[in-house]
Structure 1
Amino acid sequence: MSKTQQPTWWTSKETNTWHRMREALRRDWEQTKHDFNRKAGRDLNQDVQDTVKQAVGKEAIPPANFPNPPDIWNDESAVRFGYGVGISETYRSYTVWDDDLELKLQRDWESANPGRPWGEVRDASRFGWTRSQVGRSSKS
């Protein structure tokens, strides 16, 4: 296969942008095939917003055949839990997310939600907790 010659104005910027676009569209096509025929394509958790963000470089493109991470906003209960932890008096002394805090949160979550393992909600909960810390003074 011969190499396509580029016009004189073509730079590494165009090449890099094209590579991002190509990969984003390839992922979108795999998802589309999966959505229309479960026997073809792969479920990559790819939607139009992911494709656009990936194409313009606003979102990293996962390795081939790996799904996009889940959108944590689709799990309001986990985000709400993490946010609540961040503003509760019970956990007020925790100013950093560490192993001790996480172990306590895992117990709290799993006792209240026996059908949902902590591993499924950890990232969304941490997102909520992190947002609760914005503007929080370490002296409060």
Structure 2
Amino acid sequence: MNMLTKRLGRIRCIIISLTLLSACGPEPVSDLAYAARVRVQARQLGKGWHTGSIGTLANSCMTVMVGDPPDAPVRFDAVDFADVDELLVSDRFDGRPGPDGTVRKWAPGADTTREEWRKVDLGAIREKHGNCSRG
């Protein structure tokens, strides 16, 4: 085997490795901020993805709120993290301060055209916020 063939073989290995790493995607999100925009799947909501946000109940427990925006005095469903099957968080409206210090919070009419969704580590979220009861 000549030197050029060895180098080409190494380059192929590097390209394959990088391709596999990029296919894995980013690490799952392990913490959520209040007002983060989320998509949730939960049996109590029916099939499919439902869009909502992270909010708090009267007992200060963090929960997923699905339905009308959290600022609206209209009905919403509160879904406990224990009842969530899958959870994704928006990369654009994650409830955290952006570079200019403004909290990235979704509001009706906000531009969602380039919004992407990141998987949430439900085990970590349940460990941090799972000791709440609705009572």
Q: Assess same fold via TM > 0.5.
A: no
Normalized against structure 2, the TM-score is what?
A: 0.30
Normalized against structure 1, the TM-score is what?
A: 0.29
Q: Which has the larger radius of gyration?
A: 1
More strand by share: 2
Highest RCO, 1 vs 2 (Cα 8 Å, sep ≥ 6) = 2
More helix by share: 1
